[in-house]
A = this chain, B = another copy of it.
Amino acid sequence: MPRPKKFTVDELLDAARDAIAEHGRAVTLAQIAEQAGAPMGSIYHRFASREELLGRLWLRSIGRFHEVILAMSDTVASPHDALVEMAVGVSTYSRSHPSEALAMTLFRQNILATTGPKTLRDEAAHINDAFFARLASLTQARYGRCDEALLALVGSAVIELSYGLVRPHVGQPIPQRLDPIIRQATSAVLDLPDL
């Protein structure tokens, strides 16, 4: 009955992602609309606000990223190596998906979950759940325990460390030289816990 949609949500998110790659994070709705070849009215038919559009883009980007990272860690036998592969995966994924990586820098999880658009808060609050579950299971397998402090340490070693090294380069090519650094540093930190 209704007139058929000319633009899907995913196409509009793609346009937003590409517009950000071109114009930076201060991208305007007009620039996103131009990138999509859509008028601004169509965008507001799908998203309540610019904030919600960008928030949804962030959620999609993080979800895709976790998917790839988790799949990578699946292929490795030892828990230690799986954790190291996840860390290196941050760098390789960002290198091969530069504009997705850029979109991942739009928000921080805790900010979006607390002060973001209300319709996104729930989803934002749980976006990391599957990832942390895997992290916890690998931690348990590697150390035989998984208290809060240990999990925080492993999380820092695997994600914060590698992403911290990568993030300054997001928006430009990610240097290859980061990969051995991440590998070595993550491995060393994972060896820290006194067993």
List CB contacts (< 8 Å) of A155-195 with chain B. 156-157, 160-161, 163-168, 175, 177-178, 180-181, 184-189, 192
Main secondary structure of the interface of A (DSSP, over half): helix
Q: Is A77 an interface residue (CB 8 A)?
A: no
Task: Output the least CB separation between A28 and chain B (Å).
Answer: 15
Task: Output the least CB separation between A188 and chain B (Å).
Answer: 3
Task: Output the least CB separation between A177 and chain B (Å).
Answer: 6
Task: Output the least CB separation between A174 and chain B (Å).
Answer: 12
Task: Output the least CB separation between A76 and chain B (Å).
Answer: 20
CB closest chain-B residue, reference A167: B164
- When distances are taken between beta carbons in the complex, the residues of chain B under 8 Å from A6 are none
Q: Is A45 an interface residue (CB 8 A)?
A: no
List CB contacts (< 8 Å) of A102-122 with chain B. 108
Q: Is A40 an interface residue (CB 8 A)?
A: no
A161 and B189: CB pair below 8 A?
A: no
Task: Output the least CB separation between A154 and chain B (Å).
Answer: 10
A156 and B177: CB pair below 8 A?
A: yes
- When distances are taken between beta carbons in the complex, the residues of chain B under 8 Å from A133 are none
- Rounded to whole angstroms, the CA-CA distance of A165 and B160 in the bound complex is 6
Q: Is A21 an interface residue (CB 8 A)?
A: no
- When distances are taken between beta carbons in the complex, the residues of chain B under 8 Å from A187 are 188
CB closest chain-B residue, reference A180: B192
B160 and A161: CB pair below 8 A?
A: no
